[in-house]
Chain A
Amino acid sequence: QVQLVDSGGGVVQPGRSLKLSCAASGFNFNSYGMHWVRQAPGKGLEWVAFIWADGNNKYYADSVKGRFTISRDSSKNTLYLQMNSLRVEDTAVYYCAGDPPQSGYAFDNWGQGTLVTVSS
């Protein structure tokens, strides 16, 4: 069955870095666009970043542009989010989500989420 497993979250001080991972299985990872979406405590969903299936194009929310980098490793069926210069406002549960071909950017499967807490 389709599965996305998020990992790498934790508590980190402002200004430090963290790298999230999302291990995919049960579907053709190399044909899916992949996204990161976050949800701050008690808040709504916020899209963070998107990478094409072939990895050639990447897009970021203005709130993370220049600080976060999305990448993927097709040999490991894994999606990554490198987060640098973390801020208190980056505190959230981070979800990876799969975007199948021709779906109109619909996230048909989600990871379970990993909590990132930025605090001194």
Chain B
Amino acid sequence: QSVLTQPPSASGTPGQRVYISCSGSSSNIGTNTVNWYQNLPGTAPKLLIYKDSQRPSRVPDRFSGSKSGTSASLAISGLQSEDEADYYCAAWDGSLNSVVFGGGTKLTVL
């Protein structure tokens, strides 16, 4: 049971916009920033979004993040087949004194 809650799966067709949600609590998302990672099978995860909505320079602007209260969201626009991967949200939890991850969302491009 993960501290942060994500839907186990999401899907979309090429060119569509999809959203992946991440729900937490006041001790994590409510008071700390959220980061998002992309994990392709057999490879190390990659940072997609940091501090809720900031994007590393190497990440396409099709990826964006937002946060409101104790929930965060990752949006992927112009969906491409190469976006098929697992996506994880994460944040520092001040009550647990640990980084907490969501359970991951498997994105399928139909």
Is the pairing of A and B real? yes
- The interface-forming segment of A9-17, A24-32, A42-50 is A42-50
What chain B residues lie within 8 Å of A44 (beta carbons)? 2, 86, 88, 101-104
Closest B residue to A111 by beta carbon equals B44
Q: Mark A91-116, 1 if CB is under 8 A from B, else 0.
A: 00001000000011111111111000
The count of chain B contact residues (Cβ–Cβ below 8 Å) is 27
Closest B residue to A50 by beta carbon equals B99
> Do B98 and A59 have beta carbons less than 8 Å apart?
yes
Tell me the complex Cα distance, A85–B98, Å. 22
Closest B residue to A57 by beta carbon equals B97
Q: Mark B82-110, 1 if CB is under 8 A from A, else 0.
A: 00001010111000111111111000000
**CB < 8 Å A-B pair total:** 65
Which of B33, B35, B104 is packed against the most chain A CB atoms within 10 Å? B35
Tell me the complex Cα distance, A45–B91, Å. 13
Interface residues of A (CB under 8 A from B): 35, 37, 44-47, 50, 59-62, 95, 103-113
Please name the 6 residue pairs, one residue from A and one from B, whose CB atoms are nearest each other, closest first: A106-B50, A104-B33, A110-B44, A47-B99, A44-B104, A106-B35
Beyond the given A44-B101, A60-B98, A110-B46, please list 14 additional residue pairs across the A-B interface where CB-CB is below 8 A: A44-B2, A44-B102, A44-B104, A45-B37, A45-B39, A47-B100, A50-B98, A105-B33, A105-B35, A105-B90, A106-B50, A107-B37, A108-B50, A108-B56
